[in-house]
Structure 1
Amino acid sequence: MHLKNPLAMAVGIIAAAGHITQVHAQDNPGQSTQVGMLEEVLVTAERRPADLQSTPIAVTALSQAALTENDILDVTDMSGFVPNLMVTGQEEQSDIKIYIRGVGTNNPTETGDQGVGVYVDGVYAARAQGALALMYDLENVQVLRGPQGTLFGRNNTGGALLLQTVKPGHEFEGNFQTTYGSYNRQQVSGAVTLPVLDNLSFRVAGYSDQDDGWVNAISEDPRGSEHNFSGLSTGRTANVGLKLNNTDVRSARITGLWDATDSLSWTVSYETFTDNGNNGILLNPVLVEQDNFDSFIDSPVSLELQSDVWRSTVNFDISDNLNLQYIAGISDLHREQVVDQDGGITSRFQEGRTEYQDSTAESHEIKLQNIEGEVIDWVIGAYYFEEETSIRFDFDGQGSWLQGGNTFIQPARGTESGAAYAQATWHLTDQFSITGGVRYTDDLKYDRGGRNIQDCENEFIRPTLGGENLSVFEDFLNNTTGGEGADGLDDYTGRERTRGQCAATLRNDVESEDDQLTYLARASYDWDDSMVYASVSTGYRAGVIQDGGQATNPESSTSYEVGYKYQTGSFRLNTAAFFMEYDDLIRSGFDEDLNQIVNSNVAGAEISGVEAELTWMIGSGGQLDISGGYLNAEYTDYVVDGAGYGTNLTPIIGPDGEPTGFYDLAGNKLPQSPEFNLNTTLRWDFETAIGLITPRVNVRYVDETFFRDQNENGAPINNIINDEEQTGFYWGNPAGQDAYTKVNLGLTLDPGDSWSVDVFVNNATDEMTKSSASVDNNTAAGFPGRYAPPRTYGVRVNASF
């Protein structure tokens, strides 16, 4: 697609939007006394508070009230509520994968970074697992769409999520919330502000949410008894007492605010978060279609995850028009996890274990800006980030790449990143402004002492499966130099090395450095109740390191965007159209020669689309919210050596007229990039004798979504049920999700006495939707997948004081 097409489309949208809003304003003169009025929405998309309607960026802001009403508990629940935002998780790594306008990553491991940054009070959330359960006691959540390559910290090729927590005030106040619902859900949260001195106050907030899960652990293997378990005769026990796809999270946060002087303040917070839920359970689509959510679990599945984060902001007004901020964060994440990777569906026993993951990170940012300029608003800053992860992951089972056990021990995988940035907006007239910004980033990624240990003679690693403790099979190479030790003894255990048992087959030591200059150029024009803007911006995501001491180049994106914003007292309309060039995409594939997954810069893409968000206060009690997007995200250059499982790819023919074994994916859709998405909510306030009653209905539509680059149109069926091999061919989207519509319902009673009751039904139509798939042993309804919850209901009580 050429640039002129989306820009022409954008001009048409803006012209139409302007006409619509002008007609609306003319048809409703003086109606502000008859209808509800929209409140001002403050956002920090440009690193300073500003009205949403005067911010020339495609940004959506959700208040805590909106999050609570829509039962958005964590980042994963936001999918579908924001135009062109897709979020998947939690899954095998207790991770989240965020995609905005088709840009994101499916690599949540210690080697990768999100293409969409998550920031809490300005501090970058380094590990995806640590950003799951932060949706409580917030001022708002802001979703910035498009590359954010100048003002925000790291790797924001697709956009950024900004979470702003509630800060302590100077008066005693608080709130409380409790929910009871399906599957014995019991949720409690609350917060209180405690003034200590005139210039010192604290806020304490907490959150707890547990349920029994909606997947049933069964004792009888639905595959039968004849399939191959690699001679495994011990260690397999059906775990029937487990809670599966359950919620079990707790979090607490304490925030202190000290106004040392009229010009100097310090905000510091400590937050802890634990997650013990067993999510990401693989289910058979055939059974899911029958409302059967059974799973045969023969691994000791469990999750122990804890995250502790310190955040600090020192704010100093040097003068009446000059402000200095120092923003710092320190985080520590520990995770231990066992995942049943076959779920009683695939024909091979597979078990993955994160024996330990310890990730520590810290960031520092100094930002200097003017407070309010009549002619120019400017900001300059410097940023530093470092992270290091120690992790050991074990795999026992069968697969195309392994028969037996394998372990990956990475004692020190890390990142060091430094950046300097500057951005300024010149107000050339009262209506017309131009903005320019630039950022220089230097990233270092490393692996020090990482080893892949294999060649275990098809033996398993977990002792209860017949393996031995891995301390016997530690690194059989010198851990400092990677060479053979002179004494013939293992460096860790002091025991004699024995080839033919588990040996270090790959040394992963590597250092890779990238640097990039990213920029922003933008013009905006305001008139009456409207604003129009046009911008070009770039984004950058650092390359990834990988096993075998290899590294990729970085990804980069260039985005062209035009937008229009309009608001009267009761009506708001924001639209945007964009075109993005996405280069050097990092994709993963299995290398048979190396016998491992490898990452490479192998693809290019073009992404275009439009977005719109409308809020309309109707009459004296109604409110209609509509948001949606159109997305055309396609590969322009991507050659692979496998057609996948479908029949839709044409092989590349060589000069001799024979197939080369390669396939061109140009024209295929990017994963997690549905063409259309729409979210609509209607609520209406009714005054009654017992208080304000507000029914609401929310409808979300998401178009067909592919999870794999091949966009398969089908796959052979090779599943096993009761010892019978299932055969045939499934036509459709086996490794993806068909288009779907979900409906949420709610009814709130507010007597006006600082408390309210909310009754809700989520997914009222009981639509079962996949968030990801495992491309192994296809069924008559597609590949086994991980699903979002079925219909759930509950009652919530809110109180404030």
Structure 2
Amino acid sequence: MIYRSPLEFSAGSISNELNSIAIPSFVLDRYFGKCVRSIVALAPLAATFLPNVALAQSAGTEAGGQIEDVVVTAPSEVQAATQQQLQQVQATRASTTILTARQLQAAQITDLRQATRLQPGLNVKFQNVRNIAINVRGFGASSSSATDAIFGGTPVYVNGVYQPFVGQAVFNMPDLEGFEVRKGPQATGGGQDNTGGAVYITTALPSFVAAQNLQFQYGSYNWFQLQGSATGPIADSDKAAFRFSFFGQDREGYIRSTTSDDRYNSTHDKAANFNVLLTPSNDLTALLTASYSHSSQACCVSGFAGVVDHYTNGQAVSNNYYQRSARIGQSVPSASEWINTYTTQGQGWQNTSQDNYVASAKIDYTFNDYKLSSVTSFTQWDFHPHNGFQLNPGVSYIVGSGSQVTARSVVQDIKFSTPTGGPVEAAGGVFLLWSRVMNWGKSAYGPLAGSWYGNTNYSQLVNDRALNYLMRSAYDNPETYQVSPYMQATYHATPDVDITGGVRYSYVYKRSNFSQWLSSEQSLDGLSIAQQAQARALRVSQMGANTNWYADTHQGMASALFTATYKFTPDIYVYVTASQGGRAGGPNVPMTGNIADTVPHTVKAERIENYEVGLKTSWFDQRVIANIAAFTMFNHNYITQATNVIGATAVTYLANAELAQSRGVELDVRVQPTEELTFYGSLVYDDAFYGSFTNSPCPFEIKANSCDLSGQPISNTPKWSFAIGGEYVHDLGSFLQPATDKPVSVYFGVDFAWQSRFYSDTSNSVYSQINPYGILNLHGGLRFNDESLDISGWVHNALDKRFYNIIAPTTAGLISAQLGDPLMAGFTIRAKF
């Protein structure tokens, strides 16, 4: 196991103009308290005493590499890290795309959600910090609705450590260096099982060269961001180094309520990481990490985007949204008001937050050129919803409702690797996982629920007694035990031909209880026997009956890999891959209500077959990089969502589609014609569809018990997507004399991302289509060539494109939607010393 960080430079004292940058103490106190403020204040002083040891860490992959001494002569730390990252991508025998350190810095990308705009083919759908879907080539998770018992098929790793709960990995991180996406099954090399691919996030790690970094950003909607880090040897040692980094962000909401003073889609994030690197000998290294992050959002409200009042057969939707609104005296806004003005007539407090704690140890021991690697991690993830937003005030009374979640996991991955450079290089090990999720759910109706949800054939008295202040409580506790031995080897048949093969078997045992019970402040006393029966039936039809059940699964999954590579030249090669991967199923814990007796209480495991051919080329000393890959994938027992009306309630649960397919082409190009000019572009064609789903749920507008989605597109996967961009840098020399002798460069950059039409709901309702759209971003600035100071300005969504992230019909035909971010602009100041 290797520990990636950019090439390091001797730390010198920062010039006087940098010393003049002051961060107000109240800002630091607000985010991190006096402890961090003290560290930042002492950082310049510490640089005076910490020795400058010329030690850097070499590049590599998860399977190899080691720390070695180097003499740093590169003109730029970020340029060196970027070159290192591109070399790694070219050496990977799979379709791989990466956002380099330079791209992340230029585009102000600090989390995985932002990274998707420059990573076509990687789709992240986000409802809140718990409900997230990450897909590659259309596979990973069918929807952003949480699946507590079943992990996503696109695993995420941070510095090689698997993140079981994706909410912890998609938010702001300090010291980001790269986002790498590897396409196709990857599990025979270690880590978690996967389907469409895997995401690898890297951050800067401890250095024996003392250095400090500080970044300040301010932008639209009072978008304030502060991050920094300090690194160096511990007690002047050449055997131990540390790195401390922190991040804080505040942004006001850009959605405003027209009936209150509430604002929505605000963010409040903070994070802190502490790493210790130990190198007691040339044969032994250890990286110890402890991190904490907190994310709090007034997110993610859904607004009015229209009403479905007739089914496709011409029949009117009974008790529809218009009729219900009239009964409670609420006006219905225009469909265009939501997206054109970013306003809603809904009101109430909305907040979801998460706390994440991670401790990990990565240990490498080398003996006689053999290597033993160990990655151990513990994670606790807490989710706290405090939902009070009501699009129809008075219907629901949901302050503090939602799913309170506490999740814990322990991961152990042990790998043994043979020496490199011989005719055969092999690695094998075992991946172990234990996880438990404890979920307490609650939802409650308000004082107008009887008027809104009531049966029009019942009296108002019955409807009010049955539904006003009715509450549903639920609990589930899915637990996972996983053991996965694996092995992968490469045979260098000739100097130009490599053969790689791998096998893996995963045994996954899962179990869960599910309980649900109803309670109400409304007594049924005083109603007739017939009316009481009506009220009880109405309660069950709306929220489900009291229930308690237990389910467990024992599932085995086989994975395999075969790759043949032929090198035309050292920088041009073609590869052919056939591989198999999987995603474990488990107990079918319902997301809303309780599932009918006819619905299976367990979900089968996915089995995916991938066939791929690719060409990787590098020209003119890596000034031109062009990679292309074509693929076809078959996903058996694809895990998707089903939503059926049980009684009067739409109940959402998981189901297996017999077959889903994905086929397409991926192109990635980078060109640097001169030292001053850089271009990059990625294009993805991905035709992902249901090969066979003969007993699927029906879209809202089709009034039928079941449908056939065979041949229809898979949701959340645009068929076409691309991202292009570039940056121009011009050296101005020492034109700031006499203020400073440091050479200065000016730079300008642009990126544009576009995607075609796709469905955002698993039922493929025509009302869930998101139209094609593109987002333009601009940036420019001035920086010292040694990167000690960088001042830039930026504009995100420069054309102010209005678009939906999610849109779908819901109860009573209401089409609700979540909005994408509007135009935002600001500036960033970075300092290194």
Q: 1:341 to 1:437 in 2, by over 3 A?
A: farther
Q: Is the 8 A contact 1:697 1:746 kept in 2?
A: yes
CA positional deviation for 1:640: 3.9
Q: 2:297 aligns with which of 259, 274, 277?
A: 277
Larger deviation, residues 551-560 vs 124-133: 124-133
CA positional deviation for 1:173: 0.9
Q: Which runs of 5+ in 1 are unaligned?
A: 1-39, 221-237, 461-498, 652-659, 714-733
CA positional deviation for 1:771: 1.7
Which residue identity does 2:505 align to in structure 1? Answer: Y
1: CA distance between counterparts of 2:552 and 2:179? 36
Question: In the alignment, which residue of structure 2 is the partner of 1:95?
Answer: 131
Q: Is the 8 A contact 1:303 1:337 kept in 2?
A: yes
2: CA distance between counterparts of 1:174 and 1:371? 37
SS of equivalent to 2:264 = coil
Question: In the alignment, which residue of structure 2 is the partner of 1:764?
Answer: 798
Q: 1:211 to 1:668 in 2, by over 3 A?
A: same
Question: In the alignment, which residue of structure 2 is the partner of 1:552?
Answer: 603
Q: 1:92 to 1:65 in 2, by over 3 A?
A: same
**1:61-210 maps to which residues of 2 (within 5 A)?**
61-89=98-126, 91-105=127-141, 106=143, 107-196=145-234, 197-210=237-250
2: CA distance between counterparts of 1:368 and 1:151? 11
1: CA distance between counterparts of 2:543 and 2:156? 39
CA positional deviation for 1:342: 4.7
CA positional deviation for 1:180: 0.5
SS of equivalent to 2:168 = helix
2: CA distance between counterparts of 1:276 and 1:249? 6
Between the aligned residues of both structures, percent identity stands at: 21
2: CA distance between counterparts of 1:527 and 1:500? 66
Q: Is the 8 A contact 2:113 2:124 kept in 1?
A: yes
CA positional deviation for 1:628: 1.1
Question: In the alignment, which residue of structure 2 is the partner of 1:443?
Answer: 508
SS of equivalent to 2:102 = helix
1:262 pairs with 2:282: yes
Q: Is the 8 A contact 1:746 1:758 kept in 2?
A: yes
Q: 1:407 aligns with which of 440, 464, 472?
A: 472
Question: In the alignment, which residue of structure 1 is the partner of 2:677?
Answer: 622
Q: What is the Cα-based RMSD across aligned positions, in Å? A: 3.0
2: CA distance between counterparts of 1:676 and 1:500? 42
Q: 1:405 to 1:772 in 2, by over 3 A?
A: farther
1:634 pairs with 2:698: no
Which residue identity does 1:254 align to in structure 2? Answer: F
Q: Is the 8 A contact 2:223 2:250 kept in 1?
A: yes
CA positional deviation for 1:679: 0.5
Question: In the alignment, which residue of structure 2 is the partner of 1:702?
Answer: 755
SS of equivalent to 1:284 = strand
Which residue identity does 1:118 align to in structure 2? Answer: V
Q: Is the 8 A contact 1:87 1:98 kept in 2?
A: yes
SS of equivalent to 1:685 = strand
Q: 1:415 to 1:408 in 2, by over 3 A?
A: farther
1:244 pairs with 2:264: yes
CA positional deviation for 1:535: 0.2
The Cα offsets for residues 387-431 of structure 1, whole Å up to 9 and x where unpaired, read as: 111111111236989956443433632111111000000000111
Which residue identity does 2:796 align to in structure 1? Answer: N
Q: Is the 8 A contact 2:246 2:273 kept in 1?
A: yes
Larger deviation, residues 176-185 vs 595-604: 595-604
Q: 1:341 to 1:112 in 2, by over 3 A?
A: farther
Question: In the alignment, which residue of structure 1 is the partner of 2:380?
Answer: 332
Q: 1:184 to 1:394 in 2, by over 3 A?
A: same
CA positional deviation for 1:575: 0.8
Q: 1:620 to 1:413 in 2, by over 3 A?
A: closer
Q: 1:542 aligns with which of 584, 588, 595?
A: 584
Question: In the alignment, which residue of structure 2 is the partner of 1:739?
Answer: 772
Q: Is the 8 A contact 2:761 2:807 kept in 1?
A: no
1: CA distance between counterparts of 2:150 and 2:113? 19
Larger deviation, residues 267-276 vs 102-111: 102-111
Q: 2:815 aligns with which of 783, 789, 794?
A: 783
Q: Which runs of 5+ in 2 are unaligned?
A: 1-56, 67-86, 306-334, 455-465, 525-539, 590-594, 737-743
Question: In the alignment, which residue of structure 2 is the partner of 1:667?
Answer: 711
Question: In the alignment, which residue of structure 1 is the partner of 2:61?
Answer: 44
Q: 1:561 to 1:290 in 2, by over 3 A?
A: closer
2: CA distance between counterparts of 1:297 and 1:112? 33
Which residue identity does 1:217 align to in structure 2? Answer: S
CA positional deviation for 1:304: 3.4
Larger deviation, residues 678-687 vs 342-351: 342-351
**1:595-614 maps to which residues of 2 (within 5 A)?**
596-614=651-669
Q: 1:201 to 1:609 in 2, by over 3 A?
A: same
2: CA distance between counterparts of 1:177 and 1:619? 29
SS of equivalent to 1:618 = coil
Q: 1:503 to 1:355 in 2, by over 3 A?
A: same
Q: Is the 8 A contact 2:502 2:562 kept in 1?
A: yes
CA positional deviation for 1:619: 2.9
Q: 2:573 aligns with which of 520, 531, 537?
A: 531
Q: Is the 8 A contact 2:223 2:251 kept in 1?
A: yes
Q: Is the 8 A contact 2:472 2:543 kept in 1?
A: no
1: CA distance between counterparts of 2:679 and 2:493? 37
CA positional deviation for 1:288: 5.0
Q: Is the 8 A contact 1:183 1:211 kept in 2?
A: yes
1: CA distance between counterparts of 2:606 and 2:65? 28
Higher percent of residues as helix: 2
How many residue pairs are counted as aligned between the two chains? 668
1:433 pairs with 2:484: no
Q: Is the 8 A contact 1:603 1:637 kept in 2?
A: yes
Q: Is the 8 A contact 1:352 1:393 kept in 2?
A: no
Q: 1:134 to 1:377 in 2, by over 3 A?
A: farther
The Cα offsets for residues 66-124 of structure 1, whole Å up to 9 and x where unpaired, read as: 223222221111223123111121x2454321111111212423123111001112221
Q: Is the 8 A contact 2:172 2:247 kept in 1?
A: no
Question: In the alignment, which residue of structure 2 is the partner of 1:731?
Answer: none
Which residue identity does 1:565 align to in structure 2? Answer: K
Question: In the alignment, which residue of structure 2 is the partner of 1:687?
Answer: 731
The Cα offsets for residues 765-794 of structure 1, whole Å up to 9 and x where unpaired, read as: 111222222422799xx9321122100001
Larger deviation, residues 68-77 vs 375-384: 68-77
Which residue identity does 2:381 align to in structure 1? Answer: L
Question: In the alignment, which residue of structure 2 is the partner of 1:389?
Answer: 437
Which residue identity does 2:516 align to in structure 1? Answer: N
Q: 1:270 to 1:558 in 2, by over 3 A?
A: same
Q: 1:509 to 1:210 in 2, by over 3 A?
A: same
2: CA distance between counterparts of 1:615 and 1:71? 20
1: CA distance between counterparts of 2:542 and 2:172? 45
Question: In the alignment, which residue of structure 1 is the partner of 2:560?
Answer: 519
The Cα offsets for residues 346-384 of structure 1, whole Å up to 9 and x where unpaired, read as: 987777723621111110111110241321111010111
Question: In the alignment, which residue of structure 1 is the partner of 2:4?
Answer: none
Q: 1:355 to 1:571 in 2, by over 3 A?
A: closer
Which residue identity does 1:179 align to in structure 2? Answer: Q
1: CA distance between counterparts of 2:155 and 2:581? 12
SS of equivalent to 2:785 = coil
